[in-house]
Amino acid sequence: MIAPYVTINTRPEFVKNKTGFGYMVYDIAKSVGAKVSVEVLCTDSRGADFTIEGVTYLKRSFPLFIINLFRCVSIRILLQLLLKYRMSWGAFIRLVYYWMMSGYLVRLLDIGNYDIVHIHGCIFPTELWMQVCKKCHQKYVVTLHGLNSFSDSVKLEPAGKQYERDFLKRVTDGEFPITVISTGMKRLIENTYGVKDCGNITVVCNSFSFSEGSGGGKK
């Protein structure tokens, strides 16, 4: 799993971002980790690797990124994204940092023997992680936990919103698969791009647990 961050209350390095997204990614990793082996790379933090509740959080360090620079995906992708979307310089500098990390991710995929890579979210770095998977011939899926480009209230620069719009068009054109968390999200995407029952979009709802009893109620 690749995510910007995860919220883990018992780990000091993972409480900087206490958000619903952070807790949700943690719960997903923990739930899947109870059944199969799961490793998580948090791209917006650095620290040693550790295992908690059956999930391994991989080491993140700048020296590791430097050592593996020669494995990075082509730097042309940075220039292509900059020229196409005219993102802010702050966003571009962050993207360069993620590009430097891409070589480390290539190394992880080369030695990890993973069945699938689960990428959380649709932001500029997502493009890099998909390019890494293509370079390594690694199966992957992107999960969208919400849509940022359909609401003016979402605080995301216009370049990022346009990237999401173009990303979704590529999905409906059959370039790669995604999952969304509701049928409403799927229908909105299909209606926006004039596609009926897009096979590249799968609905995977957030997990539920069910209490057994007279009412069979949800909890």
Q: Reply yes or no on whether the pLDDT at 50 is more than 90.
A: yes
Residue 144, token pair as written in the block: 């969208």
Query: DSSP letter at 216?
Result: -
For a pLDDT cut of 70, what percent of the chain falls above it? 94
Cβ atoms of residues 142 and 47 within 8 Å: no
Q: Reply yes or no on whether the pLDDT at 219 is more than 70.
A: no
The band of 212, judged by pLDDT with boundaries at 50, 70 and 90, is: low
For a pLDDT cut of 90, what percent of the chain falls above it? 74
Burial class (CB within 10 angstroms; exposed 0-12, middle 13-18, buried 19+) of 132: buried
Average pLDDT, rounded, for the chain: 90
Domain boundaries, the chain: 61-203
Q: What's the mean pLDDT in 79-106?
A: 95
Q: Reply yes or no on whether the pLDDT at 214 is more than 80.
A: no
- Residue 173 is predicted with a pLDDT of 95
- Residue 13 is predicted with a pLDDT of 84
Higher pLDDT, 109 or 146: 109
**DSSP-H helix ranges across the chain:** 20-33, 62-67, 76-85, 89-112, 124-135, 158-172, 183-193
